Amino acid sequence: MLRDIIKKEILETITSPKFVFTFLLCTILILLSVVTGINNYKAEKQEYDAAFRLNRENLESQPSYMTLAGIGTKINKPPQVLSTIVSGIQQSVGRVATVNIAYDPNLEDSKYNSNPIFSVFGALDLSFIVKIVLSLFAILFTFDAIVGEKERGTLKLTLSNPVPRDRIILGKTIGGFISLLLPLIIPLMLGILILMISNISLSGEDWGRLGLIFLLFLFYLSVFFTLGLFVSTLTQKSSTSFLILLFIWVTFVTIIPKAAVMTASQVYPIPSVHEVTAEKDAYLQDIQTEAMEKRQSYSRENPFNVPQSDPEYQQKLDEYRENLRTYIEELQQDLTRRIDEKNAALEADYQSKKDKQRQYATNISRISPASALMFGSMRLAKTGINAHDSYLKTIKEYKREFTVWVNERMMQTINMQTGQQEGDTDLSTMPQHQFQPERLSDSISGALSDFIILIGFIIVFFVGAYVSFIRYDVR
Amino acid sequence: MLEAKNLTKRYDDGLLALDNLNLEVKEGEIFCLFGANGAGKTTAINLFLNFIPPTEGTALINGIDVTKEPLKSKRYISFVSENVMLYDNFTAFQNLDYFAKLAGKRLLSKKDYRRALQKVGLEESAYTMRTKNYSKGMRQKLGIAILMIKDAPNIILDEPTAGLDPKAAAEFLDLLLEFKESGKAIFMSTHDILRAKYIADRIGFLKQGKLVMLRTQSELEGEDLSKLYLHYMHEHGEVN
């Protein structure tokens, strides 16, 4: 009997105009998003490769370590292959960081920054389609699942037969969900096919991540599907059911996530990046002044007064130079250490405040399944805040390595008399920026809470629908 | 057989919709229940179908208490409502097949469905048509075909002739008489006094939830049922 109800539910849905409409729209949107995602990824990859080459050429053209230290090197963030499906925050955060000895590096030059029109409406990626369009379809498929049958009178006819109510609600859930998945799965398969033939190489781990993202999509749609079913068992008119669901949908998808961020910014205010940078700059200036004074003071206290007629003049001059070099090197190291310590302290304080604010916003916004979907899918696609922070952290670590290296090279090659570099700039020993992306197991444990939240919603709504339908007044 | 024993329903808002109803509809009998709108006819049907629980008393189908064994009792009853509502995107065959399976008739073939549809007089061209394009009469016929396929010994009909044209109504009543002859117990709520007199073995008048009059066909012999109805209602202050 359950099979008959499921079959009927599928047949009833796929013969309805709303199914045809949904199927066509899903096909168009999903394929469009996948193709757009692939094209964007390819363009970003080309841009990344070009920027990488350009940076190398730029480094090689630097006349000295001094200019290299000032101009620095550029770290270009490589595009993530799964951004074709979940673009996450990749478009709105920077892609390039300049690493030099002076400034604290930050990722700048986002795609949205370079062309603000993109930020007006955001990306039309698959996660957006699932979050907005398909969740709305899930509601459209279920808002009248029970109440509609009551209005049409078919529920009375059905229940005049020896059919247990739990079979009906179970059959409606399974059949309805399969009907909802059909317009999603077919274009999705086509999308994957396009992905496979588009010369974008996905590793085994990427496929695993993709599978988990799709699983998260399914759970998310199940939340709205079971919610629709639940509300349709609570109401006596399908129009009321639809209005209630629309209100909940708007609250879940747009209001809660935005309100959470706003509330967090009020509860945990953080200084702006400019304030932090200004503080760092002020300290740097103090340190530079101090360095200047110390060097002048050293020169005053240790003058080189050996006459050229002295037979050991050259030897003493070399000794003097060596002492001066050692002094400057030590001074430089000390100052660099102090700048780094100060910067690290300021950064840690800023980061801690930011983390608190973010944690608060994340926790509140997870009341909404839409937030759970976004956080979970971004974590799995490595396009979220977490991935961005990890990447930025490695750049900051790299800045320290780069600074130590370039300072050493400057000291080793500088001619104290002329102040000019001796010999060519050798980049072969220059440290390279390394980034180890998050392992799949870590991503899964990071997204686990989002899976649990969505499953929790599904259980609550389904049990609600089940209990409510058992008591439903069919008159 | 359908039985109501002291069947009473008081809704949550305090309205006494059915007051101590006692009646029996035996095999091979047609019982017509009259009453103004809100008199309690539909409440009685809802109680027999276990759509609502009784406040007091019991409704029995073939001796089975519908509240204690609802699924078992529903094996022995077929129901047709005033507006036979079907799955609009389904054809007659698809609707028949689905409801046959719900009724537990899993071994029926398309041939059986065709036979039932022929029997109720639905035109062949309508068999594969989506029922959203059906007229009320066609829906009624398909509803009867569903009832025939289930082949339950008891039939409950809620205002079955309302809105039917005279020809369709006459055809429908002929089918009811056939069911009666085959031994089915038929309980029908209706306003259609003239046609009820033609087929009913007994009639009952329900007023404010109370069965205030019960007559057999022989007792109605020579009576003008419309006058009786109006007179009766007048006496009780309902109709002027």
For residue A251, what are the contacts with CB-CB under 8 A and spacing of at least 6? A368
* Rounded Cα distance, A378 and A366, in Å: 14
Task: List strands edge to edge, sheet with B210-216.
Answer: B77-80, B154-158, B185-189, B30-35, B202-207, B210-216
- Tokens 């799964």 found at: A82
Spell out the long-range contacts of A70-75 with Cβ–Cβ below 8 A and sequence spacing 24 or more: A70/A100, A70/A101, A70/A102, A71/A100, A72/A98, A72/A99, A72/A100, A72/A101, A72/A402, A73/A98, A73/A99, A73/A100, A73/A402, A73/A430, A74/A98, A74/A99, A75/A99, A75/A105, A75/A395, A75/A398, A75/A433
Residue B31: left if φ>0, alpha if ψ -120 to 50, beta else—which one? Answer: beta
Residue B231, pLDDT score: 66
Three-class SS state of B6: strand
Any A CB within 8 A of B49 CB: yes
The Cα diameter of chain A in Å comes to 123
Name the class of domain B1-76+155-240. alpha beta
Nearest alpha carbon to residue B79 among B48, B55, B56: B48
Contacts of B83 in chain A (CB under 8 A): 153
Three-class SS state of B37: coil
- Name the percent of chain B lying above pLDDT 90: 18
Nearest CA to CA, how far is A165 from chain B (Å)?
Answer: 10
B203 φ, ψ to 5°?
Answer: -130, 155
Structure tokens at B17: 């919709």
Cβ pair A162:B79 closer than 8 A: no
Cβ pair A156:B77 closer than 8 A: no
Interstrand relation of B185-189 and B30-35 (parallel, antiparallel or unpaired): parallel
Q: How far from each other are the two terminal CA atoms of chain A, in whole angstroms?
A: 23
Beta strands in A83-133 (DSSP E): 96-99
Interface test with A, best of B45, B89, B94, B102 (most A CBs within 10 A): B102
* Residue B100: half-sphere exposure toward Cβ, Cα within 13 Å: 19
Residue A377, pLDDT score: 92
Helix axes A204-234, A238-250, angle to 10 degrees: 140
Three-class SS state of A86: coil
Nearest CA to CA, how far is B27 from chain A (Å)?
Answer: 20
Three-class SS state of B102: helix
Cβ pair B71:A160 closer than 8 A: no
Q: What is the CA radius of gyration of chain B?
A: 18
Nearest CA to CA, how far is A201 from chain B (Å)?
Answer: 45
For residue B112, what are the contacts with CB-CB under 8 A and spacing of at least 6? B149
Cβ pair B102:A161 closer than 8 A: yes
Cβ pair B102:A475 closer than 8 A: no
Show me where the domains of chain A are located.
1-475
Cβ pair A163:B71 closer than 8 A: yes
Compute how many other C-beta atoms are within 10 angstroms of the C-beta atom of residue A157: 23
pLDDT of B96-146, one tens digit each?
A: 999 999 988 888 888 888 988 888 888 888 888 888 888 888 888 888 889
**Apex A175 CA angle, B106 and A23, nearest 5:** 130
* Rounded Cα distance, A429 and A65, in Å: 12
Top pLDDT among B164 and B25 is at: B25
Cβ within 8 Å of A, B 98-157: 98-99, 101-104, 130, 146, 150, 156
Whole-model pTM over 0.90: no
* Rounded Cα distance, B239 and B235, in Å: 8
By C-alpha distance, the chain B residue nearest A16 is: B89
Cβ pair B81:A153 closer than 8 A: yes
Cβ pair A156:B71 closer than 8 A: no
Helix residue ranges, H only, A134-234: 135-142, 147-152, 154-159, 165-196, 204-234
Residue A288, pLDDT score: 87
Cβ pair B101:A163 closer than 8 A: no
Three-class SS state of A423: coil
Contacts of B150 in chain A (CB under 8 A): 161
Cβ atoms of B31 and B203 within 8 Å: the answer is yes
Contacts of B75 in chain A (CB under 8 A): 162
Nearest alpha carbon to residue B150 among B93, B75, B220: B75
Show me where the domains of chain B are located.
1-76+155-240, 86-151
A303 φ, ψ to 5°?
Answer: -70, 155
Kindly state the DSSP code that residue B133 receives in the 8-state scheme: G
Nearest CA to CA, how far is B179 from chain A (Å)?
Answer: 19
Cβ pair B51:A164 closer than 8 A: no
Interface test with A, best of B51, B71, B146, B155 (most A CBs within 10 A): B51
Q: pLDDT tens track of chain A, all 475 residues?
A: 888 899 988 988 888 888 888 889 888 988 888 888 888 888 888 888 998 899 888 888 888 888 888 888 888 888 888 888 888 787 777 888 888 887 778 777 776 666 666 666 667 788 888 999 889 988 988 898 888 888 888 888 899 899 999 999 999 999 988 988 888 888 888 888 888 888 888 888 889 999 999 999 999 999 999 999 999 999 988 899 999 999 999 999 888 888 888 888 888 888 887 888 888 889 889 988 988 888 888 888 888 888 888 888 888 888 888 888 888 888 888 888 888 888 888 888 888 888 888 888 888 888 899 999 999 999 999 888 888 888 888 998 898 888 888 888 887 787 766 767 777 778 888 888 888 888 899 999 989 999 999 999 999 999 999 999 988 888 7
Structure tokens at A333: 């190291």
* Rounded Cα distance, A230 and A457, in Å: 11
Interstrand relation of B202-207 and B30-35 (parallel, antiparallel or unpaired): parallel
Three-class SS state of B17: strand
* Rounded Cα distance, B200 and B30, in Å: 5
Compute how many other C-beta atoms are within 10 angstroms of the C-beta atom of residue A459: 11
Nearest CB to A161: which of B74, B81, B84?
A: B74
